[in-house]
Structure 1
Amino acid sequence: MHTDFPYHDIQSAPEAAVPTLRQSEQRFGMLPNLMRKMATAPALAEAYLALGDLFEQTSLSPAEQQVVLLTVSRENRCEYCVGAHSVLADMAEVPTAVTDALREGRSLPDPKLEALRRFTAAVVETRGWVGEAETTAFTEAGFTPQQILEVVLGVGMKTLSNYTNHIAGTELDQAFAHRAWKAG
């Protein structure tokens, strides 16, 4: 455990993080360990929630959003986020076959979602230097230039949480434990 990054609560968090922790608790019905760790840097916690709100407003469907977030988390080998977003994907009614394939790094049964997975993985793997072939395949699958940049938003959002979890040693919450995932 990384002791420099405590699991804050409303009482122990820096004052500037308290409103964000309250908002997170209200949104999730609990205070996720990720937010408890992020509270050490109030601006990070606030930015993460704000980016999440903005990502939810994109033209990507809730299922497509979860494909992006799970793909980024798997590519970054973030055990916390793959576990947590597996539960959130279940709640968004993403078919289990899709979520399981994402967790295992397999092709998705839905061709459009597979194009989204492949494009998102390419963005992460190339650090944004995506080739024309990948971009063309993505748009030919029915996605738009706007959605290319919305994927970038999702990648940025998840990179904040993935890297925080790696550095801070965030443990998966009990509420997500039934969908725990281990990087292979």
Structure 2
Amino acid sequence: MSRYPHPDLNTLPQDIRARILEVQEKSGFIPNVFLAFARRPAEWRAFFAYHDALMLKEEGSLTKGEREMIVTTTSAANQCLYCVVAHGAILRIYEKKPFIADQVAVNWRKADISPRERAMLEFAMKVCLNSQAVEPADIDALHAHGFDDEDAWDIAAITAFFGLSNRMASFAGMQPNPEFYLMGRVPREKKQCQ
């Protein structure tokens, strides 16, 4: 599962254990990233605080689906199996499109996405692969699609943060949970009212 054994959930500090149990309650399983990083509590707290600040914020024009699209696309460029599979699952759920994650991970330029999303990913990929070459024209291209300067910061920050995450997941040999592979691919069965 990983080069580093996961700590026993019962031995973790209470705040970390509570958050992990909350995620397990909501999703039905514990994503491996939560336990993999928990071996170093201070780093776990810093990692998830920044993750939440970027991915759960209400401000800005980026949707949750667009944020996950950035993660999936740039994680594919960084060849991070864990993040492509895990965040691809979340992307499929948010966008309610069973093929979208595969499309953006394999070739985002040919994916069935809007011109706005294409401009967003063009910028994210430049930050991912060639950040030193970002120039005012790149920001102007975002502006032309309704993004503002704060949105550009968000796109860059998400890309950079997940660059760290991608490298740690790959280095540690972190594997995606099997549950991620099927999430958002097949519509959930509707519960019958009795």
TM over 0.5: yes
Letter in 2 for 1:146: E
Question: d(CA) in 1 for partners of 2:163 and 2:49?
Answer: 14
CA contact 1:24–1:30 (8 Å) conserved in 2: yes
Are 1:132 and 2:136 an aligned pair? yes
Q: Deviations over 1:19-39 (max 9, x none)?
A: 443344345432111111111
1:178, CA displacement in angstroms?
A: 3.6
Give the greater-gyration-radius structure (CA): 2
Q: Which residue of 2 aligns with 1:106?
A: 108
TM-score, scaled relative to structure 1:
0.83
Letter in 2 for 1:77: Q
Q: Deviations over 1:115-172 (max 9, x none)?
A: 1111111111123541223222121121110101111231233123212211110111
1:67, CA displacement in angstroms?
A: 1.4
Are 1:86 and 2:88 an aligned pair? yes
CA contact 1:14–1:39 (8 Å) conserved in 2: no
Question: d(CA) in 1 for partners of 2:80 and 2:118?
Answer: 20
Structure 2 residues not aligned, in runs of 5+: 184-194
Question: d(CA) in 2 for partners of 1:94 and 1:135?
Answer: 29
Which of the residues 71, 74, 80 maps onto 1:72?
74
Which of the residues 128, 135, 151 maps onto 1:147?
151
1:78, CA displacement in angstroms?
A: 0.5
1:98/1:114 CA distance change after superposition, 3 Å: farther
Corresponding pairs, count: 178
Q: Deviations over 1:55-87 (max 9, x none)?
A: 221421112111111122112111111001111
Q: Which residue of 1 aligns with 2:165?
A: 161
Question: d(CA) in 1 for partners of 2:19 and 2:44?
Answer: 7
Q: Which residue of 2 aligns with 1:21?
A: 20
Letter in 2 for 1:52: H
CA contact 2:2–2:175 (8 Å) conserved in 1: no
Question: d(CA) in 1 for partners of 2:19 and 2:98?
Answer: 31
State percent identity of aligned pairs: 23
Letter in 2 for 1:113: E
Letter in 2 for 1:54: A
Greater CA drift, 67-76 or 96-105:
96-105
Are 1:41 and 2:40 an aligned pair? yes
CA contact 1:112–1:141 (8 Å) conserved in 2: yes
Structure 1 residues not aligned, in runs of 5+: 180-184
Question: d(CA) in 2 for partners of 1:61 and 1:168?
Answer: 30
Question: d(CA) in 2 for partners of 1:12 and 1:163?
Answer: 26
CA RMSD of aligned residues (A): 2.4
Greater CA drift, 79-88 or 135-144:
135-144
1:31/1:151 CA distance change after superposition, 3 Å: same
Question: d(CA) in 1 for partners of 2:28 and 2:80?
Answer: 23
